[in-house]
Structure 1
Amino acid sequence: MSSLVQVQNISKSFDNNAVIKNISFDIPEGEVICILGQSGSGKSTLLRMIGGLEDADEGTIMVDNEEITGPAKNLVPGYDFINFVSQHFKLERFRTVKDNISSVISYYPDEDREARIQELLELCKLTEKAKSFPHELSGGQQQRVAIAMALADEPFLLLMDEPFSNLDVNMKTEIRGEIVDILKKAEVTVILVSHDPVDAMAIADRVMILENGEISQIDSPKELYENPKSSYAAQFLGPINYIQTNGSVEGVRPEHFVLSDSGTHEGKISQCLFMGMHYHLSVNSGIAESKLLIYSKEALPVGQSIRFDIEKGS
């Protein structure tokens, strides 16, 4: 599979503060990649440079073999084969869903425009909402309209900057699955910026962890979760315990502890919290300097001594 996006040795500073520090990576055509990082890690700046809305200080960015440059070289920043979807849906309030989509491709011949609109309404599950106005739609439906508009003129690359941040938790859970289906069926290459690891795990083929403007790790969600290469990457994707084993420190996810009366290790429960799917046990144990987080299917009393093993291969 050929690379649609090639980023080589990109750096960017603001007021002598390095935001992006000499990073390089490629994105194959059709891949969905998520950029994760804490606030200030450089996520949105990197996305804007790839979209041609910000100038890089050093390095080159190529999309479909065309060099991407920013406002310093382009009178009108941006490229017609790269589209953005942001947390602000930017729908015209007095236009119907159909007319919002139509406005993006108004230059298409009438027959082609109508065919494309119908294709997008079906793809984004909006056929029954074609004549509705934005205020008549749920947040998730508005999100799907925004994506339909971004896909309308068939861009090579779709850039999504925190697209779910305005949705409540229940809405996010519902819309994620729908967005995965839409993006895969559209066969578009996507770069998604988020601070939420659940977005990355649910949507992306690969995840890039940015730490202070540098790539900490770039890998599949499963590989990143199970084999993080740094404590920053490990903690970003979920709770992790650091334990002493055979003179070295090993990271173990809470679900990889197995409670057993004949377990190799022992500890004492200092806290037990019900979290819905399971209980969170805080455990004092000699194999770790700080308290262990262990998941349990049942409530256990504070002060109780327990024994546990660590799953092999964890």
Structure 2
Amino acid sequence: MLSIRQVHFSYSEQKKILQGISVDLQPGEIFGIVGASGGGKSTLLKIAAGLLDASKGSVYWNGERVPGPSERLIPGHPEIQLVNQDFNLDLFHTVRENVRVKILHLHEKDRERFCDELLDLVELTGVASQQARYLSGGEQQRLAIARALALESEVLLLDEPFSHLDAHLRLKIGAYIKQLVEIRNTLCILVSHEGDEVMQWCGKIAFLNKGKFNRIDTPEAFYFNPSSFNEGAYFGELNELKTGKTKILFRPCEYKAVKKGGFEVEFTDAVFFGAYWKSFFKTPDKQIIILYADKPLKKVTRIELKSKNTNP
């Protein structure tokens, strides 16, 4: 179990990044952390990996405290691997050498087979003999992921791992990581400012806001029951409809077209998004809302909301 206990981090009294973060995470779990860029997500992962000293608090893996860099000659924990935006590659080594160096403990045949498997996964087979310094940013990110997976560590920390990847690669690598977590009982923490991306893979998600975990819940709860517009907007498009002193939050799919009652709306435009159309409406008091459907909703004039989320 990975236990983060009352972790604080600050650069000064005026610049507090983390304020009392606590959570217990089990092997075989994919845990997501969502929040604004610069909000402390990367800092928390570095502390969890033993690469940054917390200002206060501790991290424990299987009951033993994870020491920070001030306590180790070589920072880090052997069973906790971090893939962050620095990539930490051997730039003058080839792509294949970058992966192979992480699995030297395997027999030669197993080493080459596993290396082939990982390069195929991240689609770098075609540049296997090229030095890492000549790779694009997206290719370097994929190589960093392959290196981390090669180590087969007990804890995998992923900081914005899909930010430079094409959609099909996100799905391919994400599915591999999910399978790895299930088969090897690995603990994975996935960090992103894109909540809709995290929802695909994580069983539980924490919303990090102003240095604290404001909420830990399921993807479904974050999507359909946001506690505020600020929180809900991280997990997909969200409408806020004002009626008197009340604000109603609802997703573009949480409505029903009706002929009587409900809210009056006026169609203004529609945009095709592949699997659905996104239709834009305005209310009599000029509020703009978005509704999803399998066709443009040009004839809709009134809607009834399915959502019960209200904010005074």
TM-score for the superposition, normalised by structure 2: 0.82
CA-based RMSD: 3.2
What is aligned with 2:224? 226
**Secondary structure in 1 aligned to 2:69?**
coil
Q: How does 1:1-314 map to 2 (within 5 A)?
A: 4-16=1-13, 17-92=15-90, 95-106=93-104, 108=105, 111=107, 114-119=109-114, 121-122=116-117, 125-126=120-121, 129=125, 132-134=128-130, 143-167=141-165, 171=166, 173-187=167-181, 188-243=186-241, 249-269=247-267, 271-276=268-273, 277-285=276-284, 290-299=287-296, 306-311=301-306
Q: 1:69 to 1:93 in 2, by over 3 A?
A: closer
Q: 1:249 to 1:60 in 2, by over 3 A?
A: same
1:73-102 per-position Cα deviation (integer Å, ceiling 9, x unaligned)? 223211111112224545546655443221
Residue 305 of structure 1, CA deviation: 7.7
Residue identity over aligned pairs, in percent, reads: 30
SS in 1 for 2:236: coil
1:291-311 CA distance string (max 9 Å, x none): 33333544466xx88111123
Q: Unmatched 5+ residue regions in structure 1?
A: none
Letter in 2 for 1:182: Y
Question: For 2:147 and 2:95, how far apart are their aligned partners in 1?
Answer: 9
Equivalents in 2 of 1:40, 1:137: separation in Å? 26
Letter in 1 for 2:46: R
Residues in 2 aligned to 1:149 and 1:209: alpha-carbon distance in whole angstroms:
28
Q: Deviations over 1:116-159 (max 9, x none)?
A: 44235336635992883357988776655432311223211111
* Structure 2 contact 4–22 (Cα < 8 Å) conserved: yes
- Tell me: CA distance 1:293–1:264, structure 2 relative to 1, closer, same or farther (3 Å): same
Q: 1:98·1:130 contact (CA, 8 Å) conserved in 2? A: no
Once structures 1 and 2 are overlaid, which stretch shifts more, 41-50 or 73-82?
A: 73-82
SS at structure 1 position matched to 2:77: coil
Deviations 1:1-58 (A, max 9, x none): xxx2111111111121211111211111121112111122111111111011111122
Q: CA–CA distance in 2 between the matches of 1:152 and 1:179?
A: 13
Question: What secondary structure is seen at the aligned counterpart in 1 of 2:47?
Answer: helix
Distance verdict in 2 for CA 1:75–1:140, change over 3 Å: closer
Letter in 1 for 2:282: V
Question: Residue 223 of structure 2 contacts residue 235 of structure 2 at CA under 8 Å; is this kept in 1?
Answer: yes
AA partner of residue 307 (structure 1): R
Unaligned residue ranges in structure 2 (runs of 5+):
none
Aligned residue pairs total: 299
